[in-house]
Amino acid sequence: MSLLDARELLAFPGGDNATDTVIGNVHFNLTTLDFWNYTLYSNGSLSNGSWCLLTFAPYTPSYLLPNGTFLNVTWCWSPTEPIGVRAGLGIAYAVLFGIALILTCVSLNKHGKLHLPAEKRFFPIGRRWQWYWGAFVCATAMISLLVSVDVDRYFLPELPIILSSFFWYLMQIGAVALVWEAVRHWGSWMERQFIDPDPFSLRIDDRRSKVELYLPLLFYLLLWLNFFMIVPRNWTAIQHQRYPQQTIDEAAPTATDARFKAAAFLLAGCWLVTAFSLRHSIKYYCPRNRGVFNRIIGFVRYTPLRFALILLLAAALIGYQGLVAFYFDYSPLKVGGLDAAIYAGGYTPALLIVWVQALFGLLNPNEDLELQRQRRVRNQALNLEMGLVLKPSWWRRVNGEHMDPNEGVREQLMRNVREIHGTKPAGPAAVVSEGLDEPVEMTPVSPPPLVSPRITSPPMEPYTGRSERRRQERTAELAAGLLFPEAAQTAAATAARRRAELMMDGPPPPSYTDTVRGTQATPNAQAPNVARSLSGQSSGSTNQPPQQIRSMLDV
């Protein structure tokens, strides 16, 4: 029997006597029914205002006790009806939202990973909020759709219609927040790409930064006002749709009151803020256009396809919420409402929004990886401008500079010694033969004697100067000489050879104390004070022939 049938009062059918009635081929005491104010309705229910039970087969009670208690009773708020069109479509949509939830979690895992150090200006959670809201939309939609199965199956409307409507409104809020976070983060990502080559190209105290600071506050203010207009209210009147007159008197006025209408306009304000945020990002981070007509063309041209789709879907979602706030017949809050309108306007836009987000999330790369790629491209362009040609990655492996991650301590020591000696193995065979013929180990752990005849490295005098850096270098050289005596000898020989090469151009110039300015130093010069005393005599410089400069060392 349909829930929308007229719920008319019926007289109790006659029985064996004046105090007996037969309902569903079961005899009941009519005196007891009258005493407890039970009334029989045309839809097959028996109610006294507090309790309601079914009387048609196979749910007819088996016996009535004198205290008014029925045995084997089935209440009116039980899922006794078969699954209808609304319930079947709800299951199908719940499956689609479940798949979208999985794809959203995959996108969250992909785009939420950090491949670069976190920056104070761009928090990692900023890129994840759109996926958090996507998961929220999928979860609330699945709850609303699965609960709508019991909306069809319950004999009289009760808690399922309230839960379905409640989570449907939460899904609407989450879908609008998802669109906002996607657009807002795109602007943040554009700013990050804009300042990555030059961190000082944008100011942090201009009009642009102030707008980006206050826009999220305005959006979430409107969104939370929408939430408080809808959620904290008395939802009991929504389930009062047990007969047509009750629906007209209680359910319809509640579902179309002023709070639901105001909530729809607040959600429209959120959409306008989102569109303005997109326009703001295109204005500052994309090529500018002059003139009103060219700006409109540029806005359409530089708007990503993803945002063009989800903004239109969000507008349709908000428009449907405003429609049901004025017309109860198209509302998902109505039991037995128009299923085509409920699913086409109530659930399809939100489903398409999360699917578009998930698909583009799978196609787009991780932002950190994309930023690394852009940096490599810029570095290659700069190297090309300066004429630098970098060696390929295989160059080090070919020249024996490849570091095997599985090498042991012995191989690491051999490689370090080869780097100190300046030699490279010819190949793997040379490494093996070198390791077998000349085992390389560090010096013993036990401290050597203070004077050891085995150390042949040249002695180093302690550094007595003031330079801390030179003292550290001298200490490092001394430690290297103790650990690798052969390397110290090689370094000393190299330094001596270098000094000999420098001396091939001639002796160093004489010092200031060994010469007398303007005179020739005499062999019997005894002290510097004599030279100083002779430098003041001008007669010597005029009597001597001019000095012949042989090289730059004599200057």
Q: Which of 71, 101, 116 is the last residue of a domain?
A: 71
Q: Which of 176-180, 241-245, 355-359, 523-527 has the lowest mean pLDDT?
A: 523-527
User: Which pLDDT value is given to residue 12?
Assistant: 77
User: Which pLDDT value is given to residue 505?
Assistant: 63
- Quote the radius of gyration of the chain (alpha carbons, Å): 46
User: Which pLDDT value is given to residue 408?
Assistant: 76
Mean pLDDT within 512-516 = 51
Confidence tier at 351 by pLDDT (50, 70, 90): very high
Axis crossing angle, helix 258-285 with helix 207-230, rounded to the nearest 10: 160
- Asked whether residue 204 falls in the same domain as residue 110, the answer is yes
User: Which pLDDT value is given to residue 428?
Assistant: 46
- Asked whether residue 114 falls in the same domain as residue 14, the answer is no
- Give the CA dihedral 143, 149, 154, 160, nearest 10 degrees: 10
Burial of 446 (0-12, 13-18, 19+ CB in 10 A): exposed
- Asked whether residue 271 falls in the same domain as residue 353, the answer is yes
> Is 239 in contact with 77 (CB distance < 8 Å)?
no
Whether 432 shows a pLDDT value over 70: the answer reads no
Assess if residue 31 is contained within a domain.
yes
User: Which pLDDT value is given to residue 409?
Assistant: 76
Over the range 5-43, which residues count as b (16 or more CB within 10 Å of their CB) and which as e? eebeeeebeeeeeeeebebbeeebbbebbeeeebbbbeb
> How far is 250 from 243, CA to CA, in rounded Å?
11
The range of the structural domain enclosing residue 40 comes to 9-71
Assess if residue 449 is contained within a domain.
no
Assess if residue 368 is contained within a domain.
yes
Assess if residue 124 is contained within a domain.
yes
User: Which pLDDT value is given to residue 514?
Assistant: 53
- Asked whether residue 94 falls in the same domain as residue 163, the answer is yes
Q: How many domains does the chain contain in total? A: 3
User: Which pLDDT value is given to residue 291?
Assistant: 72
Residues 6 or more apart whose Cβ sits within 8 Å of residue 523? none
| Beta pairing class for 20-23 and 63-64 | unpaired
Phi/psi at 336 (5° precision):
75, 25
> How far is 77 from 72, CA to CA, in rounded Å?
15
Number of H helices, E strands in the chain: 20, 8
- For residue 97, the domain's CATH number is 1.20.1070
Whether 448 shows a pLDDT value over 70: the answer reads no
Confidence tier at 357 by pLDDT (50, 70, 90): very high
Q: Which of 377, 408, 431 is the last residue of a domain?
A: 377
Do you find a cis peptide bond into 58, omega within 30 degrees of 0?
A: yes
> Is 102 in contact with 134 (CB distance < 8 Å)?
no
Mean pLDDT within 413-442 = 53
Assess if residue 76 is contained within a domain.
no
User: Which pLDDT value is given to residue 460?
Assistant: 57
- Asked whether residue 326 falls in the same domain as residue 425, the answer is no
Confidence tier at 468 by pLDDT (50, 70, 90): confident
User: Which pLDDT value is given to residue 401?
Assistant: 61
- Asked whether residue 412 falls in the same domain as residue 317, the answer is no
Q: Which of 314-323, 349-358, 529-538 has the lowest mean pLDDT?
A: 529-538
Q: Which of 348, 377, 406 is the last residue of a domain?
A: 377
- Asked whether residue 263 falls in the same domain as residue 129, the answer is yes
> How far is 98 from 378, CA to CA, in rounded Å?
42
Helix (H, G, I), strand (E, B) or coil at 544: coil
Assess if residue 492 is contained within a domain.
no
> Is 25 in contact with 16 (CB distance < 8 Å)?
no
Confidence tier at 117 by pLDDT (50, 70, 90): confident
- Asked whether residue 269 falls in the same domain as residue 195, the answer is yes
Assess if residue 455 is contained within a domain.
no
Assess if residue 507 is contained within a domain.
no
Task: Name 10's bridge partners.
Answer: 40
Share of the chain above pLDDT 70, in %: 79
Q: Which of 253-257, 381-385, 442-446 has the highest mean pLDDT?
A: 253-257
- Asked whether residue 61 falls in the same domain as residue 187, the answer is no
Please tell me which residue, 510 or 309, carries the higher pLDDT value.
Answer: 309
Mean pLDDT within 184-202 = 88
- Asked whether residue 406 falls in the same domain as residue 316, the answer is no
Q: Which of 180-184, 266-270, 477-481 has the lowest mean pLDDT?
A: 477-481
> How far is 77 from 98, CA to CA, in rounded Å?
29
| Beta pairing class for 70-71 and 20-23 | unpaired
- Pure H helices in 422-544: 428-437, 468-483, 485-503, 528-535, 539-543
- Asked whether residue 141 falls in the same domain as residue 282, the answer is yes
| Beta pairing class for 39-41 and 9-10 | antiparallel
- Asked whether residue 18 falls in the same domain as residue 121, the answer is no
Whether 538 shows a pLDDT value over 90: the answer reads no
